[in-house]
Chains A and B, each alone.
Chain A
């Protein structure tokens, strides 16, 4: 998956991660401008945490990278491969092209979105087998390894209905890891969990950040986690990046008043 002769495959670093480059990205829902001429660069293997007020559009950043929403204008590049354009960089992409580049991106959702009619293992092996042509045995073995890594090997045959929120989210993480993506997106993955279950998921994320090599972009309110794991924290508000820096820079010495007040409000809990 990480080595490919196809000229359209995003170039990944030797560690299996790809850069994400967003240029002049605009996205509006009706009159509501959510992404306003956005520029964002993420290096291969970088861990970027995006913070900001609710409704500021930070989730939309992840969603347009995952192509759940389409951008109105601008460009997004994964590695060296444009996502919304053909290889020449200007012709709008067709569905085939989008699928090619998208196969290198994975996402974990706030509400898990596991397939309820499949077991944990089946959830994990579906994409490798059906989309990436991996043999079933190999996929199941890899899937069991991932389940073991997230601490849920015993639950391989359980369906999501029988799992707790934290367990579901860990399965969801394993599911997106199974396709070995070069870029992983995490959309408020602990926000829907009961407080006592948040820790187990954050633990898994930390393990991935330490061992794994993929580029990670996370939208989260978990500041402690951001401080430990992030290479860079980006403050996002009203469609634009307000400021960006290392965790200690942003959290201890924010430049903008809005960042300050936001952090105060979030850290007050």
Chain B
């Protein structure tokens, strides 16, 4: 039904916006994952003060409204810190990343707690350092529990990126407004489409991006699962090994 499709030039604008959406999602994701790892682990620290600080961060990051945080970062922070020229994209990414970190830290903490105590005890018996234990034993196993909710969280952040259009950044949502309003210009050529058609197209585009994220996470989950299955490869012939040692 051609009535539901937009003009090619309009699609081009939307795709440019979509590309910006993916970019800002990427920056936020990187910051978010970093904060999640750091604070998720800190939440389990032996030190009460460290635990308290981590708890404060996660409570704050989860308790605040994302749009309010975004506006504070975009409008209040530059003035408070005396940097009126601060990069809006950077500020928006920080806002979304901070938000994500709060939820992600809880996911990581839950994942770490899900690993049986015996794994920790075996690591102590083998005299691994705390870092080695976390890196080689705990986190790889925690991944199975962490990845599915992390995937959902990433999609939530994707939805959050739409808010940056409200502070003037041209993501997919911002591009929609520009393309739609551009139809009012006297120089506009081509078929004019209703707002409804624009909205539906944009919704579908977000949906596609979300499914792509789902797919990526599923792939990652499959790779992690593969580690729990036997390795391929040659085993060194045992006779040689024994002969060499005796």
Contact = CB atoms under 8 A, between A and B. Distances in A.
B245 A154 contact: no
Contacts of B244: 141
Given A116-B228, A131-B132, A106 B125 contact: yes
Contacts of A111: 118
Contact of A68 (B121, B140, B229): B121
A99 B125 CA distance: 10
Contacts of B140: 117
Contact of A144 (B125, B128, B235): B235
A130 B132 contact: yes
Contacts of B136: 126, 130
Interface in B108-163: 116, 118-119, 121-122, 124-129, 132, 136-137, 140-141
A126 B126 contact: yes
A128 to B, nearest CB: 9
Given A144-B235, A157-B235, A161-B228, A114 B127 contact: no
B230 interface: yes
A237 interface: no
Contacts of B245: 141, 145
Nearest to B233: A157
Contact of A157 (B119, B137, B232): B232
Contacts of A220: none
A23 B61 CA distance: 51
A148 B240 CA distance: 12
A233 B155 CA distance: 61
Interface in A98-119: 99, 102-103, 105-107, 109, 111-119
A99 B133 CA distance: 14
A126 B126 CA distance: 9
A144 B141 contact: no
B127 A157 contact: no
A219 interface: no
A68 B118 contact: no
B230 A157 contact: yes
Contacts of B228: 116-117, 159, 161
B242 to A, nearest CB: 6
Given A113-B119, A144-B241, A161-B228, 14 more contacts: A67-B124, A68-B124, A68-B125, A113-B121, A117-B227, A118-B227, A119-B231, A127-B126, A127-B127, A130-B136, A131-B126, A131-B129, A141-B245, A145-B245
11 contacts: A113-B119, A115-B137, A116-B141, A131-B127, A131-B129, A144-B238, A148-B241, A157-B233, A157-B235, A159-B227, A159-B228
